[in-house]
C-alpha cells in the first residue's frame, strides 16, 4: 500500500482552533510592520468570538494583509481591540523598522543592519555571476543562510522567530521574454490557487487549476513565475507536505511591494492556521536598479542584436563659436532646454528656424531668440547593434523552519489500534535514518550478517542504524516509527541459515522477504525513490511471519 493510502488518525483542524486564530489575529497591540513596502498586523488574543460574527471576521481575515496602517487602526477601534494582558485600549498602529540595527567597527561609528533576507548577497554578486554565465541570461543563483527580523511577537515554535534560515533563489530573466524553457514539463501540474480577486471579494475558497491554464488566463503573471510555483508545489509534496493543506495565495494590491509584478505565497495549514512558508515574487528590475543607482556600477545585460535597429531622429547641432559669443554663460541653459525636447518639439523648432527664427523660454521666464546661424536641426540615422537592459528577478524564498514545522505536523499520526504511540511518516528523502537493521537475537552468529548488511547499505550511500537493544522486536519497530525511519531490515535465525532477510515498511507495517542482496537492492531503490512500496511488493514475496529455518 502506498503511503497516501494509509488511514492516518492525524488531529483534524477544528473550528475552535480557527476561532482562536481569529482572536489572535484581532486582539493585541496593533503594531504593524513595514517591510518591502507592505504593512503586516502582528496580533494575539484569547477573547471568544460569537458565532454570528465569524462570517464577518472571515471576510476581514481574507483581506487582512491588504489593509494599510490607518485601516488597521480603524479595525481596532471598530472591534474594540484591546491589549489582552491589561485590557487597555491600544494606540494607533505605527511603522517600525523590521531590520535589526547594529554598529560596525571598533568605535561603533558605522551603522549597519542585520540582513532581513539573503537576497542582497546575490545582487552584490550579480556582475560576477553574469560573467560566469558568459554574459547571458536566464540564469539563477541560490543561497541558504540566516536572516534576522525585528519581529514584535515571536511565537509558535519555528513559525515566527527573530533569527531563521532562508533558502532563496534569484532567477534573472529578460523583462521582454519571461517564458521558461522547461515550462512544458510542469504545465499540467495542478495547484490550489487563491487569487487576489477571490480574497478582495472576502472569500478564501481555492480553485484547483493547472499552472499552464493559470498562466494562459493571466492569473499568474508569466511562465517563469508559474514554473517556480509548480516546482515549489512539487518540492513540498516530495518532502511530505499534505497537498490538501497546501495552497498558493496571491498577494493583493496593497500587500505587494510597489515594484513587484506579481507575488504568490505557498501557505501551509497547521494548528496555528495558514502560514506563509514560501514566497515567490516577480520583483521586476527593482533590486538590480536600486543597487546600481546606489553604487554607480551598472548591473545590466548587453545583448548583441541579431538585426541591428536602424532609427532616424531629429538632432540639434549648435554652432559652438557663434553660440558661445551670443549667449555667454546662458549657453548651457539654452542647450539644456533644446536637449530636453522630444521629437515633436524639435520638429516644431526646425520649422520655425526655416522661417528665420524661433524663441525658447527658460524656467525662470527669460526668452532667448535663436536663428539658423546659431543652431541647425537635422534628421540623422542611428544604428543600434547592442541591446542593454536590466534583467528582471523571479525570487522564490523558502523559510526552512516553517516548512520543517509544518512537515512535522503533517507527518505525525498514530495507528488506530495504538493511539499512544506516534508514527512520523517522513518520506525517505528527508528521514534522518533511512533504514533500521534489527537483529532478532544478540547471539554472536548474527554479528557477521549485521556487519555485512550495514556495510553494503553504506556502500550504496544509504544511512542505516542498528537497533540491537534488548527489547522486543515490536517495541524496536515502534520506537523507530516514531523517529520516522521508513524501512526496517530484520535478521532472524533463517537469515543465518538461508541468507534471507525481511523488509518492513513503516506506514503500512507490511513486510516482504527475500535473499539478503536482493532485499538490499530493493531497499536502495526505495530510499532513492526510483520505486515505491507497491513496486517493491511486486518484486519480493510478502512475509507471512511463519518463515522456517530449514
Q: What is the C-alpha separation between 40 and 368, in angstroms, rounded?
A: 55
> Which candidate, 338, 289, 279, places its Cα nearest to that of 314?
338
The residue among 168 and 467 lying less far from ligand AMP, judged by its C-beta, is: 168
Count residues binding ligand AMP (CB under 6 A): 15
Options 73, 212, 226, 399; binder of ligand AMP; rule CB under 6 A: 399
Q: What single string gives the DSSP state of each residue in 127-172?
A: HHHHHHTTT-SSEEEEEEEEEE---SS-BTTTTB-SEEEEEEEEEE
Options 39, 45, 62, 117; binder of ligand AMP; rule CB under 6 A: 117
Residue 274 β-bridge partners: 269
Establish if 250 lies at the interface with ligand AMP (CB under 6 A). no
Establish if 278 lies at the interface with ligand AMP (CB under 6 A). yes
The residue among 117 and 409 lying less far from ligand AMP, judged by its C-beta, is: 117
Q: What string marks each residue from 502 to 541 as x (binds ligand AMP by CB under 6 A) or -? A: ----------------------------------------
The residue among 225 and 370 lying less far from ligand AMP, judged by its C-beta, is: 225
Establish if 446 lies at the interface with ligand AMP (CB under 6 A). no
The residue among 159 and 214 lying less far from ligand AMP, judged by its C-beta, is: 159
Q: What string marks each residue from 145 to 164 as x (binds ligand AMP by CB under 6 A) or -? A: ----x-x--------xx--x
Establish if 272 lies at the interface with ligand AMP (CB under 6 A). no
CB neighbour burial string for 6-18, b if at least 16 within 10 angstroms, e if fewer: bebeeeeeeeeeb
Query: What is the footprint of ligand AMP within residues 160-189 (CB under 6 A)?
Result: 160-161, 164, 166
Options 66, 397, 495, 502; binder of ligand AMP; rule CB under 6 A: 397
Which pairing describes strands 435-439 and 464-466: parallel, antiparallel, or unpaired?
parallel
Establish if 44 lies at the interface with ligand AMP (CB under 6 A). no
Which residues does 37 contact at the CB level (< 8 Å), separation at least 6? 256, 257, 258, 259
Interface stretch with ligand AMP, choices 275-283, 344-352, 360-368, 459-467 (CB under 6 A): 275-283
- Give me the half-sphere count of Cα atoms (radius 13 Å) on the Cβ side of residue 209: 19
Establish if 279 lies at the interface with ligand AMP (CB under 6 A). yes
Question: Residue 470 corresponds to which cell in the numbers above?
Answer: 534488548
Establish if 402 lies at the interface with ligand AMP (CB under 6 A). yes
Interface stretch with ligand AMP, choices 244-252, 271-279, 346-354, 541-549 (CB under 6 A): 271-279
> How far, in Å, are 91, 143, 146, 156 from residue 149 at the CA level?
23, 18, 10, 16
Rounded least distance, CB 344 to ligand AMP, Å: 44
Torsion sign (Cα): 404, 406, 408, 411: negative
Which pairing describes strands 262-270 and 246-250: parallel, antiparallel, or unpaired?
antiparallel
The residue among 246 and 496 lying less far from ligand AMP, judged by its C-beta, is: 246
Rounded least distance, CB 64 to ligand AMP, Å: 15
Which pairing describes strands 500-505 and 487-491: parallel, antiparallel, or unpaired?
antiparallel
Question: Residue 520 corresponds to which cell in the numbers above?
Answer: 538490499
Rounded least distance, CB 413 to ligand AMP, Å: 24
Q: What is the C-alpha separation between 295 and 525, in angstroms, rounded?
A: 51
- What are the residues binding ligand AMP (CB under 6 A)? 117, 149, 151, 160-161, 164, 166, 276-279, 397, 399, 401-402
Amino acid at each position: 500500500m502506498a503511503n497516501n493510502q494509509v488511514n492516518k488518525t492525524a488531529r483534524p483542524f477544528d473550528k475552535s482552533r480557527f476561532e482562536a486564530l481569529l482572536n489572535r489575529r484581532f486582539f493585541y497591540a496593533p503594531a504593524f510592520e513595514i517591510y518591502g513596502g507592505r504593512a503586516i498586523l502582528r496580533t494575539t488574543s484569547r477573547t471568544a468570538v460569537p458565532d454570528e460574527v465569524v462570517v464577518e471576521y472571515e471576510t476581514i481575515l481574507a483581506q487582512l494583509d491588504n489593509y494599510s496602517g490607518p485601516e488597521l487602526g480603524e479595525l481596532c477601534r471598530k472591534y474594540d481591540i484591546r491589549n489582552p494582558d491589561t485590557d487597555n485600549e491600544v494606540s494607533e498602529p505605527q511603522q517600525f523598522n523590521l531590520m535589526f540595527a547594529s554598529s560596525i567597527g571598533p568605535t561603533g561609528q558605522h551603522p549597519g543592519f542585520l540582513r532581513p533576507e539573503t537576497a542582497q548577497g546575490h545582487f552584490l554578486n550579480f556582475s560576477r555571476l553574469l560573467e560566469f554565465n558568459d554574459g547571458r541570461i536566464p540564469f539563477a543563483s541560490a543561497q541558504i543562510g540566516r536572516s534576522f527580523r525585528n519581529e514584535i511577537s515571536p511565537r509558535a515554535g519555528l513559525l515566527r522567530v527573530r533569527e531563521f534560515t532562508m533558502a532563496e533563489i534569484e532567477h534573472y530573466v529578460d523583462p521582454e521574454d519571461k517564458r521558461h524553457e522547461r515550462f512544458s514539463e510542469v504545465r499540467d501540474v495542478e495547484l490550489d490557487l487563491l487569487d487576489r480577486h477571490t480574497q478582495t471579494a472576502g472569500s478564501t475558497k481555492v480553485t484547483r487549476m493547472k499552472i499552464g491554464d493559470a498562466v494562459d488566463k493571466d492569473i499568474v503573471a508569466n511562465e517563469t513565475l508559474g514554473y517556480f510555483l509548480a516546482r515549489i508545489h512539487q518540492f513540498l509534496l516530495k518532502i511530505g507536505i499534505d497537498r490538501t493543506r497546501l495552497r498558493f495565495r496571491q498577494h493583493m494590491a496593497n500587500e505587494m511591494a510597489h515594484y513587484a509584478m506579481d507575488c504568490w505565497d505557498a501557505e501551509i495549514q497547521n494548528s496555528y492556521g495558514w502560514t506563509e512558508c514560501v514566497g515567490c515574487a516577480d520583483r521586476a528590475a527593482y533590486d538590480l536598479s536600486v543597487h546600481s543607482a546606489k553604487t554607480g556600477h551598472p548591473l545590466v545585460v548587453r545583448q548583441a542584436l541579431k538585426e541591428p535597429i536602424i532609427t532616424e531622429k531629429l538632432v540639434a547641432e549648435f554652432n559652438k563659436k557663434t553660440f558661445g559669443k551670443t549667449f555667454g554663460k546662458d549657453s548651457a541653459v539654452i542647450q539644456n532646454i533644446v536637449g530636453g525636447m522630444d521629437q515633436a518639439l524639435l520638429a516644431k523648432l526646425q520649422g520655425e528656424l526655416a522661417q528665420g527664427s524661433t524663441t525658447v523660454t527658460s524656467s525662470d521666464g527669460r526668452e532667448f531668440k535663436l536663428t539658423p546661424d546659431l543652431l541647425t536641426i537635422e534628421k540623422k540615422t542611428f544604428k543600434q547593434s547592442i541591446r542593454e537592459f536590466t534583467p528582471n528577478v523571479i525570487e522564490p524564498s523558502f523559510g526552512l523552519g516553517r516548512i520543517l514545522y509544518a512537515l512535522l505536523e503533517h507527518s505525525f499520526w498514530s495507528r488506530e489500534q495504538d493511539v499512544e504511540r506516534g508514527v512520523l511518516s517522513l518520506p525517505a528523502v528527508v528521514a534522518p535514518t533511512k533504514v533500521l537493521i534489527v537483529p532478532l537475537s544478540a547471539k554472536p552468529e548474527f554479528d557477521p550478517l549485521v556487519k555485512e548488511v550495514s556495510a553494503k547499505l553504506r556502500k550504496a550511500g544509504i544511512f542505516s542504524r542498528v537497533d540491537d537493544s534488548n527489547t522486543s522486536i515490536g517495541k524496536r519497530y515502534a520506537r523507530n516509527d516514531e523517529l520516522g525511519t521508513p524501512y526496517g531490515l530484520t535478521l532472524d535465525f533463517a537469515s543465518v541459515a538461508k541468507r534471507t532477510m525481511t523488509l518492513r515498511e513503516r506506514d503500512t507495517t507490511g513486510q516482504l522477504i527475500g535473499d539478503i542482496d536482493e532485499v538490499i537492492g530493493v531497499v536502495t531503490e526505495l530510499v532513492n525513490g526510483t520505486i515505491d512500496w507497491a513496486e517493491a511488493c511486486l518484486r519480493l514475496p510478502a512475509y507471512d511471519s511463519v518463515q522456517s529455518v530449514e
